[in-house]
C-alpha cells in the first residue's frame, strides 16, 4: 500500500480517538486498536493492540496492504 497524507491523517485520528482499525497484511485481516507509530531502523512501525487477544503487536506500515477505520 502506498500511504497518502490522507491515509496517515486517518490513522493518526484513529490513534488519538482509540478507534478500531481493520488492517490487511499478508492476505490476513486483523482488527486492532492503534496505539502509536514509531520510526525504527528506517521504517515506520504501527504499534497496536489486537482485539481478539488483547496483545500488543507491531506492524511495519510498508507491509500493510490496506486499512479501514471502523466507526
The Cα–Cα gap between 62 and 1 comes to 7
Range of the domain at 17: 5-69
- What are 68's three cell numbers? 479501514
The Cα–Cα gap between 41 and 6 comes to 24
pLDDT at position 71: 82
Q: Is the pLDDT of residue 1 over 90?
A: no
pTM of the model: 0.88
The model's pLDDT over 20-48, given as tens digits with 9 standing for 90+, comes to 999 999 999 999 999 999 999 999 999 99
Query: Where residue 10 sits, what CATH number does that domain have?
Result: 2.30.30
Q: Say how many domains are in the chain.
A: 1
pLDDT at position 49: 97
Q: Is the pLDDT of residue 58 over 90?
A: yes
Amino acid at each position: 500500500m502506498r500511504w497518502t497524507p490522507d491515509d496517515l491523517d486517518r490513522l493518526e485520528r484513529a490513534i488519538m480517538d482509540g478507534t478500531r482499525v481493520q488492517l490487511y497484511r499478508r492476505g490476513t485481516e486483523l482488527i486492532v486498536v492503534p496505539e502509536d507509530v514509531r520510526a525504527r531502523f528506517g521504517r515506520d512501525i504501527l504499534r497496536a493492540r489486537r482485539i481478539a487477544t488483547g496483545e500488543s503487536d507491531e506492524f511495519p506500515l510498508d507491509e500493510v496492504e490496506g486499512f479501514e477505520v471502523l466507526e
